[in-house]
């Protein structure tokens, strides 16, 4: 009986313990259920927007779609710079499982460092660039490997159909088609397209990356139409290069400009470069020397003294000047002529390029008057051409002139100019007395609308003064130092310049380094043209009349033939 009671008691204790365990488990599961339910409610109600946004970020990323850059076109609708379609390669590192294999294939096919690729593929991003702007062949070959997480986007690459032609003025762009040099830089805000955007996502199996239909369409940049004629540019570059090579010179520059309005028909520099091969560009070859190089011009600068003297109407063409038989003591030094002359007329002083005769003419005008004409002709100032990196030259204020300055600035020493400034001075002679503002872009065209640019000029000399100076410069070519620039049966004028280069280390003028220059004009062509040529450090000869004048002749002959042939063909049509 006692044993039965003990058993019942034990059974009750066991039942109570079982009941408590069941209850505990029940409440435990109930608590878990409540917690999970609350978490679900919290996520679904309070965090839904956050989670949706995060999910989108995991599956989508925004990619810039490059707006097509505008074209650069010459005056006869020849394309000098445009865009062609290339492909850029990107990766989604989050879906790449075998980075070693992918990096090895990409390294082999794209000629990239495996270490670089592993670094890119190891980033915690949905989108990284692998290589920009590869060819269609490269893209299709890489596509054949069917690499998971590797995708392609079509992009535009800048292309220059004429290779080196006009390259120093055209300039280059960077990998994102933003202008870095030349016209590409100066007109970047017009040429640059407006970017669009698209979203990139994976397909449902994460096998590849595809583009979504959500897209903001990019907009095309404006085209710019130049005053430059590609054929005239070609002729100018051809004969400039030939001259630099023939005389074993360091470099050379040339400008062809419409005298009446300042339109640039050609602007050339040699050495030059190929903008399609940016990686192969030699340092210094991108320099636009025609506007960026400052130099002492030498005797070609005597045109300023000529213009000042005829405008002051102080001398007749037959007035005589004693040229001291080639040696003239001036304050601080002795002035020499390249040939000893006794007495020369006013006209002959310029025809024979007498330093002594010009110095005496300028001295008789006075420093204040001569200084005023230097400023009137825009020397020591920017011409305002629509290109970057123009130098304004060097012109000392009158208060800083030495006693020697009044004699040697008129013959092209102690003053710095660029070649375009010289061309503009000669334009004054042939256009009837107007100072023009050179320019290289005549139209900016976008969406069927073109905004044109008109010539800017102001009269600074009378027509009669300009005509008198013009007649004398024509005599310089017919019977003076510029004979080698003459073109048969054409009205050609101009002035030679042979300048010793100043050696800053020795602090004196070099006896072996020169700059040879010729600036002239074709007066009997419509419209009249100015052609300016300078050659730095020619070796076989250093005279402007020997080095630069023949180059002028070749360029002038080529231009005359081209223009007359074009007009003849136009009349036939």
Is there a contact between 492 and 480 (Cβ–Cβ < 8 Å)? no
Is there a contact between 246 and 539 (Cβ–Cβ < 8 Å)? no
Nearest to 532 by CA among 421, 441, 373: 421
Q: Determine the Cα–Cα distance for residues 290 and 155; give it in Å rounded to an integer.
A: 34
> Is the alpha carbon torsion for 174, 440, 255, 558 positive or negative?
positive
Low-confidence ranges of the chain (pLDDT < 50): 204-208
In sequence order, the β-bridge partners of residue 127 are none
pLDDT for 533 equals: 98
pLDDT for 208 equals: 46
SS3 content of the chain, % helix, strand, coil (to 5): 40, 25, 30
In sequence order, the β-bridge partners of residue 64 are 197
CA 94 vs CA 125, 149, 209, 289: distances in Å = 7, 8, 11, 51
Instruction: List the chain domain ranges.
Output: 61-223, 230-274+287-572
Main-chain phi, psi angles of 26, to 5 degrees: -60, -50
Under 8 Å CB-to-CB from 97, ≥6 apart: which residues? Answer: 148
CATH code given to domain 230-274+287-572: 3.40.710.10
Q: Which helix (H) or strand (E) holds 335?
A: strand 333-336
> Is the alpha carbon torsion for 99, 105, 107, 109 positive or negative?
negative
Q: Which helix (H) or strand (E) holds 210?
A: strand 209-216
pLDDT for 207 equals: 44
The angle at the Cα of 551, spanning 548 to 557, to the nearest 5 degrees, equals 140
- Fold of the CATH domain 61-223: Penicillin-binding protein 2a (Domain 2) (3.90.1310)
pLDDT for 284 equals: 84
Nearest to 526 by CA among 441, 431, 461, 451: 431
pLDDT for 491 equals: 97
Is there a contact between 396 and 371 (Cβ–Cβ < 8 Å)? no
Is there a contact between 551 and 516 (Cβ–Cβ < 8 Å)? no
Under 8 Å CB-to-CB from 172, ≥6 apart: which residues? Answer: 158, 179, 180, 181, 182, 184, 275, 278, 286
Work out the number of other CB atoms within 10 angstroms of the CB of residue 272. Answer: 23
């Amino acid at each position: 009986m006692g044993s039965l009671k003990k058993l019942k008691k034990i059974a009750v204790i066991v039942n109570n313990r079982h009941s408590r365990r069941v209850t505990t488990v029940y409440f435990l599961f109930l608590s878990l259920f409540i917690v999970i339910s609350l978490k679900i409610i919290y996520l679904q109600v309070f965090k839904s927007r956050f989670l949706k946004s995060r999910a989108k970020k995991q599956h989508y990323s925004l990619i810039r779609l490059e707006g097509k850059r505008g074209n650069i076109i010459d005056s006869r609708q020849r394309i000098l710079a445009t865009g062609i379609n290339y492909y850029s390669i990107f990766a989604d590192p989050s879906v790449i499982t075998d980075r070693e294999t992918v990096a090895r294939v990409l390294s082999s096919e794209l000629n990239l460092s495996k270490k670089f690729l592993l670094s890119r593929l190891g980033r915690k991003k949905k989108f990284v660039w692998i290589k920009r702007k590869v060819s269609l062949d490269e893209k299709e070959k890489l596509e054949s490997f069917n690499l998971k997480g590797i995708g392609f986007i079509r992009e535009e690459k800048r292309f220059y159909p004429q290779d080196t032609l006009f390259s120093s003025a055209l300039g280059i762009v960077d990998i994102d088609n933003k202008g870095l040099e030349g016209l590409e830089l100066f007109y970047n805000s017009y040429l640059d397209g407006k970017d669009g955007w698209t979203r990139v996502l994976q397909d449902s199996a994460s096998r590849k990356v595809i583009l979504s239909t959500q897209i903001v369409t990019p907009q095309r940049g404006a085209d710019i139409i130049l005053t430059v004629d590609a054929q005239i540019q070609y002729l100018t570059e051809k004969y400039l290069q030939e001259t630099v090579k023939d005389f074993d010179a360091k470099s050379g520059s040339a400008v062809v400009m419409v005298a009446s309005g300042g339109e640039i028909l050609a602007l050339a520099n040699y050495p030059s470069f190929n903008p399609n091969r940016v990686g192969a560009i030699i340092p210094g070859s991108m320099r636009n020397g025609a506007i960026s190089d400052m130099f002492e011009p030498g005797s070609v600068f005597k045109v300023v003294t000529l213009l000042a003297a005829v405008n002051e109407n102080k001398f007749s063409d037959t007035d005589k000047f004693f040229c001291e038989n080639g040696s003239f003591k001036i304050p601080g030094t002795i002035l020499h002529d390249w040939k000893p002359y006794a007495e020369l007329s006013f006209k002959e002083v310029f025809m024979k390029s007498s330093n002594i005769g010009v110095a005496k003419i300028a001295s008789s005008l006075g420093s204040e008057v001569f200084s005023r004409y230097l400023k009137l002709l825009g020397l020591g100032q920017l011409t305002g051409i629509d290109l970057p990196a123009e130098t304004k030259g060097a012109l000392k204020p009158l208060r800083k002139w030495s006693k020697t300055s009044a004699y040697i600035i008129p013959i092209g020493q102690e003053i710095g100019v660029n070649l375009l400034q010289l061309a503009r001075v000669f334009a004054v002679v042939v256009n009837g007395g107007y100072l023009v503002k050179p320019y290289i872009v005549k139209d900016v065209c976008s969406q069927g609308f073109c905004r044109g640019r008109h010539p800017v000029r102001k009269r600074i000399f009378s027509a009669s003064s300009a005509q008198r100076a013009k007649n004398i410069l024509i005599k310089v070519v017919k019977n003076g130092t510029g004979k080698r620039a003459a073109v048969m049966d054409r009205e050609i004028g101009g002035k030679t310049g042979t300048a010793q280069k100043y050696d800053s280390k020795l602090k004196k003028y070099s006896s072996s380094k020169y700059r040879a220059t010729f600036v002239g004009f074709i007066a009997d062509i419509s419209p009249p043209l100015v052609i300016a040529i300078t050659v730095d450090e020619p070796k076989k000869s250093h005279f402007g009349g020997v080095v630069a004048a023949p180059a002028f002749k070749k360029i002038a002959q080529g231009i005359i033939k081209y223009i007359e042939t074009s007009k003849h063909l136009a009349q036939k049509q």
